[in-house]
Amino acid sequence: MEINDLSLKIREIPDFPSKGIIFRDLTTLLKDAEALRVMSDALVNIYRDRGVTKVVGIESRGFIGGSIMAYALGAGFVPARKPGKLPAVTVKKSYAKEYGVDTIELHSDAINEDDIVVLHDDLLATGGTMMAAYELVKSMNPKKIYINFVVELTALKGRDVLPSDCEVTSLLKY
């Protein structure tokens, strides 16, 4: 199985969560052992020689690929969570969504100036969540930040809202 074959393992669910949306369900990719291995190897190979010290996974599906990358790279894993889910002192960032405002949080001591960070989520749509996570991590002054996704929905132009000075990678594009 090759990277491009992974798209065959992603289930498409029409009209979810609302009419006119085609939801890309990665759970069907994740339950296939070979597809999971190919995805994992591809994610890790992007960052293998980049000195990554922390991987930030965005709640909740970003925890999966993020944890895999952190383990394989010998880096720490940092969860970016919805409000009220982290037990210690946090920093937070609110951002606009289609129907309101959402917030994401990190522990205030999660990232430091010596860190090289990969921000990871399963899917790039409009980019709002990732941009908020980026701004939080950036405020902690790491050496370098990379942004990564398994899937990118190019028609939604989420990449356009992400910082131009930050390398953004996606395994699959729709």
- Is the model more confident about 142 or about 96? 142
The DSSP result for 34-51, as a single string, is: HHHHHHHHHHHHHHTTTT
Lookup result for tokens 């037990």: 87
For residue 135, indicate whether it is catalytic.
no
What pLDDT score was predicted for residue 97? 78
In the chain the domains, ranked by start, together with CATH numbers, are 49-173 (3.40.50.2020)
For residue 98, indicate whether it is catalytic.
yes
- Catalytic choice (59, 61, 135, 167): 61
In DSSP terms, which residues pair with 172 in a beta bridge?
151
Q: Which residues contact 149 (CB under 8 A, 6 or more apart)?
A: 120, 121, 122, 123, 124, 130, 168, 169, 170, 171
- pTM listed for this prediction: 0.95
What pLDDT score was predicted for residue 152? 98
**Residue 17 banded pLDDT, cuts 50, 70, 90:** confident
